[in-house]
Amino acid sequence: MLQETVGAHILLADDEKREPADVRLCDFDDVSYNVKVDKDTANQMSVSMNMPCYHQIEAKGGSDALKKHFGDYVAEPIDGYDITLNIDFSKIKEDKEKLVEKIGSFKLLTLGGVFDHFFAALDSGSPVAEPFQFDIRGDTRVYLFPRDDRVTVIFSIDFLESFDKLIGKVFLNEFVLARKNDRSLGSAPSCSFSEHPPTELASVGVTESRGVLGFMAFPILKSHCKEGKREKVVNSLQTFRTLLQYHIKMAKSHFHQRMRARAVSLIKVLNRAKVEQVHDGGMKTASGKTFKRA
Q: Where in the chain do CATH 3.30.1460.20 domains reside? A: 1-104, 127-294
Find, among 222, 220, 247, 235, the residue nearest to 157 by Cα: 247
**pLDDT at position 41, please?**
85
User: pLDDT for 246-262, tens place per residue?
Assistant: 999 999 999 999 999 99
On the question of pLDDT at 170 being above 70, the answer is yes
Helix, strand, coil in percent for the chain, rounding step 5: 45, 20, 30
User: pLDDT for 124-165, tens place per residue?
Assistant: 888 777 899 999 998 899 999 999 889 999 999 998 888 899
Find, among 130, 168, 157, the residue nearest to 217 by Cα: 157
Which CATH architecture fits 1-104? Answer: 2-Layer Sandwich (3.30)
pLDDT band at 90 (very low <50, low <70, confident <90, very high): confident
Gap between the Cα atoms of 275 and 287, Å rounded: 11
- Is the model more confident about 220 or about 284? 220
- A 10 A CB-CB count for 90 gives 7
**pLDDT at position 239, please?**
92
Model pTM score: 0.83
pLDDT band at 176 (very low <50, low <70, confident <90, very high): confident
CB 217 within 8 A of CB 141: no
Contacts 24+ apart (CB under 8 A), 69-77: 69/102, 69/109, 70/102, 70/109, 75/46, 77/48
The residues pairing with 20 across neighbouring beta strands, listed in sequence order, are: none
**pLDDT at position 129, please?**
76
CA Rg value for the chain: 27
Question: 34-43, 50-59, 107-116 — which is least confidently predicted?
Answer: 34-43
**pLDDT at position 284, please?**
62
On the question of pLDDT at 285 being above 70, the answer is no
**pLDDT at position 197, please?**
92
**pLDDT at position 145, please?**
94
On the question of pLDDT at 282 being above 70, the answer is no
On the question of pLDDT at 281 being above 60, the answer is no
CATH 1.10.10.60 fits 127-294, yes or no: no
Question: 9-13, 77-81, 276-280 — which is least confidently predicted?
Answer: 276-280
